[in-house]
Chains A and B, each alone.
Chain A
């Protein structure tokens, strides 16, 4: 099995790319691959806990909790996140907070890297 590292930058709402990234991560984890996810840019808002899943909007929390339970490592860019007013105390449990070098370190150990760009 391989190691997949994904950099996810799009916002949770307004782009299908975020949903695609989460579903791809789940598929890879279900196959037994090691998956690492780095959130940066607008994607960082998705780490906020207590999201209400309204049917007209995407939700991140449901996917993220499921991925964490599967052992996927998920880390959010602390600077990107707090700049958007989301504090660590409000975060979904077990999501890591770190700086950009976390992403590069997971790129170092990855067999494949997928950079999912934002807007």
Chain B
């Protein structure tokens, strides 16, 4: 029985390339990984947005109407709904002039988790504690 901690580091904007969007959906899949693991084994991802990765997660997105795709805001909300730990780098929000109240929550879904806006030093600590660090 073992839990494997993974840090998913999203460092690119979600609408510029596909990979950073895939970070969110891959992190979400931790909910079903147990069907492929031995009893008691788990994977616990932490989803961290740094650098340009903070650019595509503001609330109020409407990707469905013009593009017919789910927004990265919805993916973030789904992550919160399934109790995934989501971190956003405070310094990078400030760098790009994004106020913290522009970030989404999933209160309308009755999620208990909220986004954690933290200094980069905290994200470094998450990376140090993880067994595997994946950059998207």
Contacts and interface: CB of A to CB of B under 8 A. Distances in A.
Nearest to A41: B18
Interface stretch (B27-35, B76-84, B87-95): B27-35
A7 B22 CA distance: 11
Contact of A101 (B35, B132, B135): B35
Interface SS of B by simple majority: mixed
A104 B6 CA distance: 9
A115 B30 contact: no
Given A101-B30, A108-B37, A110-B132, A40 B6 contact: no
A105 B136 contact: no
Interface residues of B, number: 24
A101 B33 contact: yes
Question: How many residues of A sit at the interface, in one of the four size bands?
Answer: 20 to 34
A105 B36 CA distance: 6
Which of B6, B29, B135 is packed against the most chain A CB atoms within 10 Å? B29
Contacts of B136: 115, 117
A26 to B, nearest CB: 22
Contact of B30 (A9, A104, A119): A104
B19 A100 contact: no
Interface in B102-136: 132, 134-136
A18 interface: no
Interface string A77-119: 0001000000000000000000111111101101001010111
Interface of B: 2, 4, 6, 17-19, 22, 25-26, 28-30, 32-33, 35-37, 41, 43, 45, 132, 134-136
